Amino acid sequence: MNHSKIDNLTPLEADRFGQASAALLRQGAQNLPANIKDRLYAVRMKALSLSKAQVHARSNVLATNTGNWSSHSSTLWDGFRWAAPVAFLVLGLYGIAQWQQDSRINDIAQVDAALLTDDVPPDAYADSGFLSFLKNGPLSDSDSDSVDPSTH
């Protein structure tokens, strides 16, 4: 059949064609074995449930301000749908950056306060001997007492 002829069918002709096709399919289905009929019925029910789910998911109907029902959304609403999450993302990233900066400033302030209130002058931390002293720890009293008593 010619495709241009199929595309130009009137609604009445398309309905008749559909009914004739359904009748031929029903006649052919009666000659099928029972197990094939059962499988075809199960697949048909699954396809119908999926198509109903898609129809419900795609039915975006909005009432316009004039009271007319429309399935087309306005471009302003479409713009807001993607702009709002992007704005929240940008604000969230800005908030995280501010929080990290405040945290860094507080950490530096704590180190400065510890240095300024410590008994050791800040210049001592630049001395390499003082750093090795901090790494090894002070000599304990038990080390000085471990002198051999037989030498006295």
Alpha helices per DSSP H over 9-140? 11-30, 34-58, 75-117, 128-136
Query: Total structural domains in the chain?
Result: 1
Tell me whether residue 40 is in a domain: no
Task: Label residue 124 by pLDDT band (50, 70, 90).
Answer: confident
Tell me whether residue 133 is in a domain: yes
- Give SS3 for 50: helix
Tell me whether residue 39 is in a domain: no
User: Is pTM, for the whole model, over 0.85?
Assistant: no
Q: What residue numbers bound the domain in which 110 lies? A: 75-140
Tell me whether residue 93 is in a domain: yes
Q: What is the mean pLDDT of residues 2-25?
A: 78
Task: Label residue 88 by pLDDT band (50, 70, 90).
Answer: very high
The whole-angstrom separation of Cα 60 and Cα 69 is 10
> Would you say 62 and 73 are in contact if contact means Cβ atoms under 8 Å apart?
yes
Tell me whether residue 99 is in a domain: yes
Tell me whether residue 105 is in a domain: yes
